[in-house]
Amino acid sequence: MLSVLLLLLGGIGFILLKNWVKVRKFWIMRTRAVQFLDEIPGPPTIPLLGSAHLFKWDNEEFTYQLDRWAREYMVKVQPTTGVMKFSRQIEGWGREIFNNTENPLRDHGVMKVWVGPVPMVFLASCDAAKPVLESNTLITKPSQYNIVKQWIGEGLLISTGKKWYARRKMITPTFHFNILQGFYEIFFAQANILADLVDKFADTDQTVDLLPYVKRCALDIICETAMGTRINSQTGKNVDYVQAVNRLSQLIWDHERFPWLWFQPIWYLTGMGFEFDRYVKLSSDFTRKVILQRRGVLEGKGLLGEMQSMSPEEIRKHKLSFLDLMIGMQTTHNLSDEDIRAEVDTFMFEGHDTTSSGIGWALWWLGQELDIQKKCHDEIDEFFGDSDRAIIAEDLKSLPYLEMCLKEALRLTPPVPLFGRTLDHDLKIAHYTIPEGCTVFMSPMAAARDPRHFKHPDMFYPEHFSQEQISQRDPYSFIPFSAGPRNCVGQKFALAEEKSLMATLLRRFKFITMNPEPSNRFLPELILKPSMGFVFNVQRRKQVKS
């Protein structure tokens, strides 16, 4: 322990000497942060480590610790009138707090946590998060994303300023409605492969953890739609990429919550740095290989010079992928091969890990709310009858209750648990001032469990997404895809994929959750993950004949 401490102090000294100007600027900002943030409640701190010495090493235990801090520092209840009710015995995230007039007593959902020498302010309510998310200037991702940049590069997720605006403007047309229409054939084909794999466990004594199966299906979909390449991971090929992404997410999460790992010597002495580099190389090499192959295919078809003038209908006709369009834009937008690699890696990661999380959590909720699952089955059977035809875009419009269930799952268990920003000016939230340079994080899970906006904040209650209830609440209370100018450009793609896969699976099966709440904890890594997987008993269904 002493040697580690000496190494830590030596590393600090070296960094101070090497980066004096930056350190001086940081010290001025930190002095202001101490002055203003002292008023914001948060856990106790010590020099250098902040509150990090209190963090639980075990990820699941850490979630309980965050719950306790949220109750203690974010929410204030008057002792004479306040009543705390735990819906369905969930501890933490979705407390319903009422006074005697049934109005929630909250302190604006603001809490500070010092992680090492870096202060972070958590904005848990939609009132607190809205001024940040709707701003056209507060679009810079904080330094906590730097390690993610080492993996996926400075693409749309990480970039800021003029570069971000230019990339956003360039990429948005690639998600045109008419282009998305061409992806439903891929959604259905890959969903059927998934359903055939699940069928092996149906009506047996075996249970199945769907998480790895859904991940591989989502990976096959994003590779075929975004990269124009079939990798067949569902049939046992290229599974190394899935494993690499899973481990990278774990390593990044540990790196961000334990500040001593920010020092390169310690990061590598633990072996985590070498492991991180190995998986980054595996991921990047895979993407570079596919880019090279696709460029050759496009040149062979003579399409490279034509793509800039193609309409969305022509793009769909030629079945061009996101990667194809990036390659076609390379000269016009002055993109390097690494620029393309960064954007593709961004969509590879976000396009399979987030959607698999969304689908898994939705089925997990339905698997313990069997009466609600039956309503989904009834709606699907009424529309499709006993037909096993392919699901197309128009079909999903006829399944409104299924969409309500999916959105309710996204409300309770959003795939991305936190969004971060760096403030480029002081920000007033309620009676607090959050100073320039500070990092703020917004929680879509906490914002969407506010009883002021949702009738049953902790229950799986799809009627929250009836048109009547949607019209009565602040749109910033439901932000699974973020909100404002920096919202997720691929959210329509994600919803279409998730609805298609869910409809395909529910046409054929009934799912019974074997690890219901509260035993299966929500683990907030880069993507929200279940502590015990998504384990189901699967039963085949007899569809109602039309």
How are beta strands 118-123 and 439-442 bridged, if at all?
parallel
How far apart (Å, rounded) are the C-alpha atoms in residues 174 and 321? 9
| Contact indicator for 352, 218 with CB cutoff of 8 Å | yes
Distance CA 35, CA 105 (A): 27
- Can you read off the two tokens belonging to residue 238? 């290229």
- The secondary structure of 24-46 as a DSSP string is HHHHHHHHHHHHHHTTS-----B
Binding site, annotated residues for heme: 488
Q: What is the secondary structure of 182-244 as a DSSP string?
A: TTHHHHHHHHHHHHHHHHTTTTSS--EEHHHHHHHHHHHHHHHHHSS----GGGTSSHHHHHH
For residue 225, give Cα distances in angstroms to 68, 185, 320, 350: 42, 10, 8, 13
Structure tokens at 131: 């001024």
Query: Pairing between strand 419-422 and 110-115?
Result: unpaired
Per the annotation, binding residues are 488
Q: How far apart are CA 195 and CA 209, in angstroms?
A: 14
For residue 521, the tally of other CB atoms under 10 A from its CB is: 20
Interatomic CA distance for residues 127 and 528, integer angstroms: 23
Distance CA 391, CA 369 (A): 25
Contact between 197 and 209 (Cβ < 8 Å): no
Three-state DSSP state, 303? coil
Sign of CA dihedral 533, 536, 540, 544: negative
Cβ contact 535:208 at 8 Å: yes
Write down how long the chain is. 546
Do 477 and 454 form a contact (C-beta atoms < 8 A)?
yes
